[in-house]
Structure 1
Amino acid sequence: MPVKIRLQRHGKKGKPFYWIVAADVRAKRDGKFLEKLGIYNPNTNPATIELDVDSSVKWLQNGAQPTDTAKAILSYRGVLLKHHLLGGVRKGALTEEQAEEKFNAWVEEKTGKIASKVEGLDQEKEAAKAEALKAEKEVNEKRAQAAAEAALPEAPEGDEAAAEEAPSVEAEASKEEE
């Protein structure tokens, strides 16, 4: 029975969420599968990928063929590297300890890259939030200044009677509002 490692779509319209599964090639896209290997959520930044590496390697060793997208995900998580290293162990080029050491070193390097990307995204988000707050404060200051200017009546200089009358008009207006 030919087996493919592929994505099985879940989620709602416009918000896809995928299961990474090993399935018979004759089965429907979202139909029956042999084993669930992990999940892939492209809605987050960076995309969330949870994958059972050992099961994925087992299926690759048994001859399962990944689809293009699944192959990219497996490569991103190091499944193809581990499969390659285990092939070297079978041929006698490496020992299991050396292969495991190389794989763990690669995983730590990859984790560091992902962490730095997340940190960079957090910094960008904080900078954007600070910029928006600054712009909002400027707009509020302009509004307050415009309201203060509108509240002061324009009286010609030297006309003290008009200046004395203006506060009483404001007092009457505030009494009416209450």
Structure 2
Amino acid sequence: MPVKIRLQRHGKKGKPFYWIVAADARSKRDGKYLEKLGVYNPNTNPATVELDVDGAVKWLHNGAQPTDTARAILSYKGALLKHHLDGGIKKGALTEAQAEAKFNAWLEEKTAKIQSKTEGLSKADSEARAKALEAEKAVNKARIAAAAPVVEEAVEEVAEASPEVTLESVADETAAEEVVAEASPEAEETEAPKTEE
């Protein structure tokens, strides 16, 4: 029975979520599998990969062939490196301590790269948000500056008509009118003239 290490699709349409499984090569893509080795979520940035490295190495020792995507995932998590180092131990080129030290050094370097990538992404996201906020503030200032001459002209016209009116009293009156209009839309409907029958 030829065994493949491959992806089994789950999730909803447009949001795939995969299980990494060891399955018979003749079984369906989402069908029966021999062992679940991990999960792969490409929807996050960077992609989330959880893998049982020892289980994957056990299947690789037994002759399981990974698909192209599964091979990339196994390489990303270090399962192929561990399989390679185990081959060196069997041939006598390495001791177990040396192989373990090499694997741990590689793992630390890989986690550092992933950490720096996530920090870079979060920094870029915060910078983009700050730029968007500054652009919004600039637009608001431009709107206020464009509206200021219109308000001043209205105040001057009213002041010419009655000198005791100030800018604050006009602003208070317009605010009061807006509050009354918002508070009682039914009152406007009821004030409509009634026709006699």
Query: What TM-score results when the alignment is normalised by the length of structure 1?
Result: 0.90
Secondary structure, aligned partner of 2:163: helix
Corresponding position: 1:69 with 2:69: yes
Measure the CA separation in 1 of the matches of 2:102 and 2:176.
80
Whichever residue aligns with residue 98 of structure 2, its letter is Q
CA contact (8 A) 2:10 2:17 kept: yes
Quote the offset at 1:99 in angstroms: 0.6
CA contact (8 A) 2:4 2:67 kept: yes
Quote the offset at 1:120 in angstroms: 0.6
Residues 90 and 176 (structure 1 numbering): CA distance in 2 closer, same or farther, change over 3 Å?
closer
Q: Which residue of 1 aligns with 2:183?
A: none
Structure 1 or 2, whichever has the larger Rg, is 2
CA contact (8 A) 1:155 1:162 kept: no
Residues 46 and 175 (structure 1 numbering): CA distance in 2 closer, same or farther, change over 3 Å?
closer
Residues 166 and 57 (structure 1 numbering): CA distance in 2 closer, same or farther, change over 3 Å?
same
Equivalences for 1:1-178 in 2 at 5 Å?
1-153=1-153, 161-162=160-161, 164=163, 167=166, 170=170, 173-177=174-178, 178=180
Secondary structure, aligned partner of 2:17: strand
Quote the offset at 1:136 in angstroms: 1.0
Query: What TM-score results when the alignment is normalised by the length of structure 2?
Result: 0.81
CA contact (8 A) 2:4 2:24 kept: yes
Quote the offset at 1:172 in angstroms: 5.6
Quote the offset at 1:143 in angstroms: 2.0
How far does the alpha carbon of each residue in 1:54-80 deviate from its partner, in whole angstroms, 9 at most, with x for none? 000000000000000000000011100
Quote the offset at 1:47 in angstroms: 0.3
CA contact (8 A) 1:7 1:21 kept: yes
Secondary structure, aligned partner of 1:84: helix
Of 132-141 and 164-173, more deviation after overlay is shown by: 164-173
How far does the alpha carbon of each residue in 1:3-58 deviate from its partner, in whole angstroms, 9 at most, with x for none? 00000000000000000000001110001000000000000000000000000000
Secondary structure, aligned partner of 1:118: helix
Secondary structure, aligned partner of 1:36: strand
Gaps of 5+ in 2: 181-197
